[in-house]
Amino acid sequence: MKALVTILFLLGIGYYGTAQYVDRTNFRAGLVGGVVVGNFSEAYSLNLGLDIYHHWGVSKEIDLGLTTGFMNAFGEKRSDSVGGTSTQNEFSNYQIIPIGGSARIYPTSGFKFGADAGYAIGINEGNKGGFYYRPSIGIDLSGGSSELNVSYLAVTEDVTFGTVLLGYLFLF
């Protein structure tokens, strides 16, 4: 009798453990665009980029993964007048390759929020890169084959480069 109870107990635990697991392992890639905010908003206006993610479902509500991509903020031409003298400044594009970890929480099916964090490698001349973080919220579309998300990306070294982004990702 003890053996039968033990076997049923172990089967019940095994069933409960597998019932909680949802395999959302996936690869996502897509385009992102947005506007620069904060300290750099006068030097840069719009940006475009590419997002690449690979996530592993570690529980029913949580995915963990890796992320990379590319982002280019377009530099502006700016005219300043001081004391009757006019000067023109042209800012070169701000380019980074973010490399980091990613976490997503699914409070309901098809809706997620989370964050990415890591290091942003500076590509353009004079850009050293720095620590980056990116909180986001997203909604699955087309039965989970694509995603629409909104995020804020910040790269911090001595000052913070910030941008608000809208992205569209495809599930592969």
CATH of the domain at 129: 2.40.160.20
| Residue 98 exposed, middle or buried by CB count within 10 Å (0-12, 13-18, 19+) | buried
3-state secondary structure of 12: helix
First to last CA, the chain: 50
Q: Is residue 10 part of a domain?
A: no
Query: Tens place of pLDDT for every residue, the chain, 172 residues?
Result: 555 445 545 555 544 444 455 567 889 999 999 999 998 998 998 999 999 999 999 998 999 999 999 999 999 987 777 777 878 888 899 999 999 999 999 999 889 999 999 999 999 998 999 999 999 999 999 888 999 999 999 999 889 999 999 999 999 8
Domain count, the chain: 1
Find the domain containing 97 and state its range: 23-171
pLDDT of residue 22: 58
Q: Is residue 15 part of a domain?
A: no
Chain centre to alpha carbon of residue 132? 10
pLDDT of residue 81: 73
Q: Is residue 17 part of a domain?
A: no
Q: Is residue 14 part of a domain?
A: no
Q: Is residue 74 part of a domain?
A: yes
Strands, E assignment, 58-93: 62-75, 77-82, 85-90
Backbone angle region of 83, left / alpha / beta, with phi > 0 → left and psi within -120 to 50 → alpha? left
Q: Is residue 129 part of a domain?
A: yes
pLDDT of residue 19: 47
Query: From CA 77, how far away is CA 117, in angstroms rounded?
Result: 31
Q: Is residue 12 part of a domain?
A: no
Q: Is residue 8 part of a domain?
A: no
Query: From CA 24, how far away is CA 140, in angstroms rounded?
Result: 12
